[in-house]
């Protein structure tokens, strides 16, 4: 097996990827631009003992990502790269190692690119004073070496890319931004881990925007600000990937009253999850389990930050879900960034059996949105609306539904428990049950109705499931037709009576 190791990020096969460098801010460019979806594979994840958290290369959908970043390799004093785990190069029993098993995914998707990584430190972390300039020289030399090799061999130039800091002081201390952006093929900004238990108070892991009342220092710690720091310092936006995480930062609250659920409440690291076993961190599927097992755990939507969080009596979790991932991907496309990097595959619900949102719901949410060819203004600017909401709005007046949402996003607005949680919170309490879970719950209730204990009346399970699917179809079509009609009439609201009329007509037509 021919493995080509390269410092920073490297391609583990004999091919690189041709990504257009055009700016994708305009709708017309989306027809030819392929957004990068760089997914981390953690080599230690395959060694876990339970099937829920264990992830092997064979569990990965070869078409889920455009690039898989293998984490990690070791850099020796000689600057040579070495496998991080003993079974990376060779299997324990003499079979193929992790490198080869990941590369095998290319047999199904030849366009998939496999990467390996290492990145530098800042002065306050023990790096030498010349590291910043030395890093630029290294990147320049590698880039020219790759170009020379491509010229001599006739092969495509190997990819040279990196994962970088998101905080301004780290960026300024560690990188000569304009120079390195000239030589890197793309740069992934790790726009997560802005807050955690080290703060001693609750804070969101990856807010899209800042809060108005935050101290200036923390007001910059969000995705939008970090990306603009990189651009303002001279990095082309199409070379930048924003970072996402398939995990949340969890906090244990210090005996606060039930109403004290805001960001900035005194807290420490929450108890480690059953599977990930790291205090203060919960995989997305562990968060789903909490929501399903504990009815007191509620999801709140922070309007200013455009992200969800969970709060209960003693637990607070800042995380991303399908809704916030979709919002961030719309933001990515509108701003013209080149793609996304996500940590990490093993922290998502690989089978979909826990969260009931399909396999790899976080990664697939990003893929779905980035794969859309065009978006109308209503869809792409949801997060820029006054309330920055996608699937919920103020329902104090139940006679109308606001017309600034995509129809498929508001199907279950009537089912969601939406409630403003204090004037200063800018938060919405929303249902923690997704559509698939609601379908399952509805099927269960229908079965209880049609299959009584005395079995005097019986309806086939498949028929009940079909009825449920049809019901969801009718609701979807009703909302879509109602909003279309309202737009045609020039109305800003949809009357509930009109929705009921369309729904009844659909049933009669069926």
pLDDT at 299: 94
Distance, in Å, from the CA atom of 510 to the CA atom of 110, rounded to the nearest integer, reads 45
Distance, in Å, from the CA atom of 123 to the CA atom of 272, rounded to the nearest integer, reads 31
Q: Which of 185-199, 247-261, 404-418 has the lowest mean pLDDT?
A: 404-418
Domains of the chain plus CATH, in order, are 9-244+320-384 (3.20.20.80), 400-407+434-509 (no CATH)
Helices (H), strands (E): how many in the chain? 13, 20
Q: Kindly tell me if the per-residue pLDDT of 348 is higher than 90.
A: yes
* Model-wide pTM > 0.75: no
pLDDT, averaged across the chain: 78
Mean pLDDT, residues 400-414 taken together: 30
Inter-residue contact 298 to 429 (CB < 8 Å): yes
51-61 pLDDT per residue, tens:
999 999 999 99
77 noted as active-site residue? no
479-493 pLDDT per residue, tens:
777 777 776 666 666
Task: Tell me the pLDDT band of 429, cut-offs 50, 70 and 90.
Answer: low
For residues 383 and 341, which has the higher predicted lDDT (pLDDT)?
A: 341
Work out the percent of the chain whose per-residue pLDDT is above 70: 66
pLDDT at 470: 72
158-217 pLDDT per residue, tens:
999 999 999 999 999 999 999 999 999 999 999 999 999 999 999 999 999 999 888 877
Task: Tell me the pLDDT band of 346, cut-offs 50, 70 and 90.
Answer: very high
pLDDT at 376: 47
For residues 16 and 479, which has the higher predicted lDDT (pLDDT)?
A: 479
Inter-residue contact 2 to 100 (CB < 8 Å): no
Top mean-pLDDT range of 25-39, 310-324, 436-450: 310-324
Q: Kindly tell me if the per-residue pLDDT of 35 is higher than 80.
A: yes
pLDDT at 242: 98
Work out the percent of the chain whose per-residue pLDDT is above 90: 54
pLDDT at 390: 30
Q: Which of 91-95, 349-353, 504-508 has the lowest mean pLDDT?
A: 504-508
DSSP 240-276: EEEEEESEEEEEEE-S--TT--STT-BEEEPPPPTTT
Rounded to the nearest 5°, which phi and psi values hold at 269? -65, 135
DSSP 70-129: EE-EEE-TTS-EEESSTTTTB-TTSSB-HHHHHHGGGGT-TT-EEEEE-----GGGT--T
- Active-site position among 85, 86, 100, 118: 118
Mean pLDDT, residues 257-285 taken together: 88
pLDDT at 494: 66
Q: What is the 8-class DSSP label of residue 213?
A: T
Mean pLDDT, residues 435-455 taken together: 55
pLDDT at 234: 97
pLDDT at 482: 73
Q: Kindly tell me if the per-residue pLDDT of 292 is higher than 70.
A: yes
- Listed in sequence order, the residues at least 6 apart from 500 whose beta carbon sits closer than 8 Å to its beta carbon are none
Task: Tell me the pLDDT band of 93, cut-offs 50, 70 and 90.
Answer: confident
> Measuring CA to CA, which residue among 397, 385, 242 is closest to residue 301?
385
Task: Tell me the pLDDT band of 439, cut-offs 50, 70 and 90.
Answer: low
């Amino acid at each position: 097996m021919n493995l080509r190791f390269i410092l920073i990020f490297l391609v583990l096969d004999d091919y690189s990827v041709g990504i257009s460098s055009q700016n994708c801010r305009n709708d017309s460019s989306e027809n030819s631009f392929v957004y990068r979806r760089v997914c981390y594979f953690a080599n230690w994840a395959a060694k876990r003992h339970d099937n829920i958290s264990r992830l092997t290369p064979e569990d990965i959908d070869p078409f889920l990502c455009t690039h898989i970043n293998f984490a990690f390799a070791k850099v020796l004093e000689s600057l040579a790269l070495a496998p991080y785990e003993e079974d990376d190069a060779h299997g324990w029993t003499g079979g193929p190692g992790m490198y080869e098993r990941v590369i095998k995914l290319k047999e199904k998707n030849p366009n998939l690119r496999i990467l390996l990584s290492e990145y530098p430190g800042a002065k306050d972390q023990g790096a030498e004073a010349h590291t910043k300039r030395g890093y630029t020289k290294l990147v320049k030399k590698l880039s020219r070496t790759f170009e020379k090799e491509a010229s001599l061999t006739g092969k495509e130039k190997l990819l040279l890319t990196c994962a970088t800091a998101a905080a301004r002081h780290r960026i300024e201390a560690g990188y000569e931004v304009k120079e390195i952006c000239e030589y890197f093929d793309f740069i992934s900004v790790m726009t997560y881990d802005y807050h955690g238990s080290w703060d001693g108070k609750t804070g969101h892991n990856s807010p899209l925007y800042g809060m108005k009342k935050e101290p200036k220092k923390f007001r910059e710690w969000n995705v939008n600000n970090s990306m603009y720091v990189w651009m303002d310092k001279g990095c082309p936006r199409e070379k930048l990937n924003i970072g996402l995480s398939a995990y949340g930062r969890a906090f244990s609250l210090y005996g606060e009253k039930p109403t004290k659920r805001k960001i900035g409440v005194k807290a420490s690291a929450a108890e480690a999850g059953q599977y990930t076993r790291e205090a203060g961190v919960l995989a997305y599927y562990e968060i789903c389990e909490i929501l399903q097992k504990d009815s007191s755990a509620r999801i709140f939507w922070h309007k200013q930050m455009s992200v969800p969080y969970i709060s209960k009596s003693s637990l607070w979790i800042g995380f991303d879900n399908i809704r916030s991932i979709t919002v961030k991907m719309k933001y990515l496309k509108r701003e013209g960034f080149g793609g996304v990097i996500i940590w990490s595959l093993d922290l998502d619900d690989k089978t979909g059996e826990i969260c009931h949102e399909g396999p790899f719901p976080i990664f697939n949410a990003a893929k779905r949105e980035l794969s859309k060819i065009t978006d109308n203004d209503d869809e792409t600017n949801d997060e820029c609306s006054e309330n920055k909401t996608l699937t919920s709005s103020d329902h104090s007046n139940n006679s109308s539904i606001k017309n600034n949402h995509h129809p498929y996003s508001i199907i279950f607005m009537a089912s969601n428990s939406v409630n403003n949680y204090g004037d200063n919170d800018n938060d919405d309490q929303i249902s923690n049950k997704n559509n698939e879970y609601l379908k399952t719950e509805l099927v269960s209730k229908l079965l209880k109705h049609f299959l009584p204990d005395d079995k005097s009346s019986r309806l086939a399970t498949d028929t009940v499931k079909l009825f449920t699917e049809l019901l969801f179809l009718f609701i979807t079509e009703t909302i879509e037709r109602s909003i279309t009609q309202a737009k045609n009439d020039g109305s800003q609201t949809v009357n509930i009576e009109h929705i009921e009329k369309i729904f009844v007509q659909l049933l009669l037509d069926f």
